[in-house]
Amino acid sequence: MYNDLFTIGKFTLHGYGLMIGIGFIVGLLVGLHIAKERGIEQNDVIDLALLVFVLGFAGGKLLYIITDLPDIISGKYTWRDLSNGFVVYGGIIMALVVALIFCVRKKIDYGAMGDVIATATALVQGFGRIGCFLAGCCYGVETDSWFHVTFTHSDYAPNNVPLVPTQLISSAANFLNFAVLMIAMKKFKKPGQVFALYLINYSIGRFIIEFFRGDLIRGQVGILSTSQFISIFILAFGLWFFYYNTKRNAEIKEAAE
């Protein structure tokens, strides 16, 4: 509700940045714990986490700009209007590519590392959406339901209008995804399955929540928002990756026997 938490001199602590920072630290600690249990070098997790954090943010910013490039060219939006924008899927796609390159160079099992990073990412996203709520970005459509939020000091969401609290719903969904993945860690022992489950869960949840988003600056592909369009492919990849890793690990087990 208030993105500027407090100011000391020229320094202002923003709620969005604080939540991202907390999420990254907590997510990294959880990731290191999972890596230790799964026999993955913790230094590799730290290195990849830092790469994913920095380049993932760049990917999210890039996709945000791409989705509204026609409006930028036409002059409807300026670069200044887009300076605070971010599309999570851009970060996820960039992270997938960065992680693949990292694992190939380090000769690390991509699925096993993906299980660690994906689980931690779900936790980070849960905190990140709380940051969105504090900033007022990623807001929902107007509603007359009792379940709503009304912003009064937001630079992004319409003020004094009851809106669907999409940020809080997304945060809860991401924390739920994290809990499901932690439980799945104990059930699915084959590398890559939990990673695939993250992609499946997130893509389905994101597709649904998009129907209730009110920030129309995110781009469209036909009747779908950009994120809904991407969700279809992420879901398909997640289902394939789960099947692939299940079959691959079964073949490895048979060969060993």
Give the separation between CA 227 and CA 245, rounded to whole angstroms. Answer: 26
Give the alpha-carbon dihedral of 215, 221, 224, 228, to 10 degrees: -80
For the stretch 4-54, pLDDT in tens is 555 666 666 667 788 889 999 999 999 999 999 888 899 999 999 999 888
Q: What is the pLDDT of residue 172?
A: 97
Q: What percent of the chain has pLDDT over 70?
A: 82
Give the separation between CA 234 and CA 227, rounded to whole angstroms. Answer: 10
Contacts of 51 (CB under 8 A, 6+ apart): 98, 102
Whether the pLDDT of residue 257 is over 50: the answer is no
Q: What is the pLDDT of residue 144?
A: 92
Give the separation between CA 163 and CA 200, rounded to whole angstroms. Answer: 28
Q: What is the pLDDT of residue 221?
A: 77
Contact 140, 212 (CB under 8 A): yes
Higher local confidence (pLDDT), 169 or 18: 169
For the stretch 58-87, pLDDT in tens is 888 787 777 766 666 666 655 555 555 667
- From the CB of residue 93, how many other CB atoms can be counted at a distance below 10 Å? 19
Contact 45, 31 (CB under 8 A): yes
Q: Which regions of the chain does DSSP assign to beta strands (E)? A: 4-8, 11-14, 149-150, 162-163, 220-221, 224-225
123-134 mean pLDDT? 92
Contact 5, 18 (CB under 8 A): yes
Estimate to the nearest angstrom the gap between the alpha carbon of 153 and the chain centroid. 26
Helix (H, G, I), strand (E, B), or coil: what is residue 157? coil
Whether the pLDDT of residue 141 is over 90: the answer is yes
Q: What angle do CA 181, 185, 187 make, to 5 degrees?
A: 110
For the stretch 185-236, pLDDT in tens is 888 878 899 999 999 999 999 999 999 998 866 667 778 888 899 999 999 9
